[in-house]
Each structure stands twice: as structure tokens, then as C-alpha cells.
Amino acid sequence: EVQLVQSGAEVKKPGESLKISCKGSGYSFTSYWIGWVRQMPGKGLEWMGIIYPGDSDTRYSPSFQGQVTISADKSISTAYLQWSSLKASDTAMYYCARHVGNPEYCGGDCFPDYWGQGTLVTVSS
Amino acid sequence: QSVLTQPPSASGTPGQRVTISCSGSSSNIGSNTVNWYQQLPGTAPKLLIYSNNQRPSGVPDRFSGSKSGTSASLAISGLQSEDEADYYCAAWDDSLNVHYVFGTGTKVTVL
């Protein structure tokens, strides 16, 4: 059974750094892209970017390029989403999602299929 | 601001058919396949339809998808109370930096 288990809720202050995680199991972690999706309170879904754990190839949405860092540790089947300096506007639920499709290039027919349970990040002074 | 536009809401009584539209452009729906997601209240999204009209295992055949040109639609036939949720279309956008985009979302209410 494919499972993505995310780290717990976080409460941080503006300016602080943060790294949240997503551990995959039940499938070959290095053979699928894995990405992150933001959902701000009461709002819709926003795709942030993806990483291919097999070779750490990473792509970002233009809206999130330079704002966050996506990484992965294939030795422990875990993907990460990281901020160096949080803002109040980063308050949101963050979901990781496995992407199924061409391992060499995620586009066109590549799409999120399995999702993590979400990590709530609250940034407040 | 999403490049895929959906109506904010849709509703129907149990047993009715509800259709949700998703309007895009030549750089996204016009050149890539469309996927649909269901998000029940307080839960993570779930894949409902992929590659325009394919249902993952376990998704009831009450849900169907279609695509024509730069638009797509999701139909729910035989609406049930448990279908009350938010629904999002999604596709790759090939403009400038290639990235995946979600629609604005539609809240379906079962009256």
C-alpha cells in the first residue's frame, strides 16, 4: 500500500527557518517524482514544485521559485520542503504528493496520485 | 491566481447530475491532459479522474471526465450526499517555466 506520512504541525515566528518532511513507503521511492502543494486557509490548491529522488532533479513553479527549497534523502525515502525565513503569508496547509508518469521528465501525462495527510504551518508573531 | 477557471459553486439534489466546467488555454488544457481531484472537508485531496477521462481503481463510475479544446468538465451522475466536497481540475502549463496548475476549485453542495 502506497503511503506518504508527513511531519506534524508547526508553529513558528516570522523570520524563523523550517523544514517539513514527507516519508514514502509501499513503492519504489526513487522511481517516482514527489512534490508539494500549498493550500492557504480557505483557499485552493497551489502546486509548488517537484523532485525526482533518484537523481535530485528539481523543478519549481514560477510562484515559488526562490521562496522554498525542495529536497529528498533517498536513503530514508523522505522528501522535504524548507524555508529559510518564514513570513506570515506562509501560513497554510502543505501536502506532499507522489507524481506518476515518465521518470525522466514530469510533464504532460505526469500527475499527483497519492497524497500525504498534510502539515499545517502557522507563522505568527 | 490560477490559469484554470472553474465556477465557485454547484449544487444538486440526491440523484441529480451535476457538471463542473474547467476553462483553460492552449498552453495548458489545449496541449495536455486534465486531471480532477476531490477534497472532502478537512481531508487531503484525492485523485478522481486522470488523463481526461480515466478513473483510478475504486472511484465510482458516477464520476466521469471529458475534454474538448481548451476546456474540460467533470460530471457527477446520481449525486449522493457523500459527494459534497471541493473539486479541482489540474493540468500542466507549458508557458515559460513548465509547471502544474490547479483550477480555482468548485464547491459542490448536495441540497
| pLDDT single digits (tens) A82-117 | 999 999 999 999 999 999 988 888 888 899 999 999
A5 → chain B, closest CA residue: B44
How far A19 CA lies from chain B's nearest CA (Å)?
20
How far A27 CA lies from chain B's nearest CA (Å)?
17
| pLDDT single digits (tens) B52-105 | 999 999 999 999 999 999 999 999 999 999 999 999 999 999 987 889 999 999
Q: Are A50 and A106 in contact (CB under 8 A)?
A: yes
SS (H, E, C) B53-81: CECCCCCCCCEEEEEECCEEEEEECCCCH
Of A112, A45, A30, give the one whose Cα is nearest residue B56.
A112
| Res. B25: pLDDT tops 70 | yes
Of A113, A27, A97, give the one whose Cα is nearest residue B49.
A113
How far B62 CA lies from chain A's nearest CA (Å)?
20
- Smallest Cβ–Cβ distance between B92 and the set A95, A97, A107 belongs to A107
Residues 6+ apart with CB under 8 A from A94: A6, A20, A36, A37, A38, A39, A81, A118, A119, A120, A121
CB contact under 8 A, B2 and A44: yes
CB contact under 8 A, A115 and B51: no
Q: Fill in the amino acid letter for A22.
A: C
Q: Are A25 and A77 in contact (CB under 8 A)?
A: yes
DSSP β-bridge partners for residue B36:
B49, B89
A65 → chain B, closest CA residue: B97
pLDDT along chain A (125 residues), means of 10: 98 98 97 97 97 94 96 98 98 98 86 98 97
* Residue B1 pLDDT: 66
* Residue A102 pLDDT: 85
* Residue A105 pLDDT: 87
